[in-house]
């Protein structure tokens, strides 16, 4: 018999980016056996590693001589989904016993009618029986977000699933390494 399932944690949303009140929202999640939050965290908290396992991420650079690990308040740049994104890390909590790891950033691209504002958040938590849960959710505001929400298949859902799959594969590769 399996033990009772633990209560799962949720993303903390800033004002203006609460799902259901934005122009677009996507949510992806994976639960992987044989990995821990500690295995996943370095790959997620080091933006310059993203292109090594996620093909839709490029030209990553941290501003102001920061890095390679993100810290709350850090500014960085990357390209994804055809957008040149400036971003600032708004939340960063490394994994610790009994609490999930969290990383989130506000990203923006364009100006005026073409401006896109996003809040992209990740939650990484250890589960019983040697499993890890990785949740990524993003809310978006602006005309490009409206267009992305209408697109089928949904590029955000598919792209973020590729990110999760690549993250899990990279963490497994490092663990076996």
Per-residue pLDDT band for 5 (boundaries 50, 70, 90) equals low
Structure token pair of residue 27:
């949510």
What's 24-176's CATH class?
alpha beta
Per-residue pLDDT band for 3 (boundaries 50, 70, 90) equals low
Tell me how far CA of residue 151 lies from CA of 30, 44, 146, 164, in angstroms.
23, 27, 9, 21
Q: Is the pLDDT of residue 4 over 90?
A: no
For the stretch 122-146, pLDDT in tens is 999 999 999 999 999 999 999 999 9
For the stretch 88-127, pLDDT in tens is 999 999 999 989 999 999 999 999 999 999 999 999 999 9
Q: Give the span between the Cα atoms of 24 and 140, in whole angstroms.
A: 5
At 154 the pLDDT is: 93
Give me the helix-helix angle, 37-44 and 155-176, nearest 10°.
120
At 31 the pLDDT is: 98
At 149 the pLDDT is: 96
Residues in the chain: 177
For the stretch 21-68, pLDDT in tens is 999 999 999 999 999 999 999 999 999 999 999 999 999 999 999 889
By three-state DSSP, how is residue 13 classified?
Answer: coil
Domain boundaries, the chain: 24-176
């Amino acid at each position: 018999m399996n033990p009772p399932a633990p209560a799962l944690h949720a993303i903390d949303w800033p004002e203006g980016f609460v799902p259901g009140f934005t122009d677009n929202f996507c949510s992806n999640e994976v639960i992987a056996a044989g990995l821990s939050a500690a295995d996943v965290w370095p790959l997620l908290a080091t933006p310059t590693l993203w292109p090594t396992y996620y093909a839709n991420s490029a030209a990553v650079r941290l501003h102001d001589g920061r890095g390679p690990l993100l810290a709350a308040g850090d500014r960085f740049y990357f390209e994804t989904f055809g957008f040149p994104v400036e971003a600032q890390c708004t939340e960063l909590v490394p994994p610790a016993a009994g609490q999930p790891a969290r990383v989130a950033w506000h990203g923006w691209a364009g100006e005026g009618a073409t401006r896109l504002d996003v809040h992209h958040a990740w939650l990484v938590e250890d589960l019983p029986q040697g499993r890890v849960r990785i949740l990524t959710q993003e809310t978006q505001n602006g005309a490009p977000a409206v267009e992305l929400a209408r697109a089928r298949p949904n590029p955000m859902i598919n792209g973020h699933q590729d990110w999760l799959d690549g993250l899990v594969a990279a963490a497994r590769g490092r663990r076996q390494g």
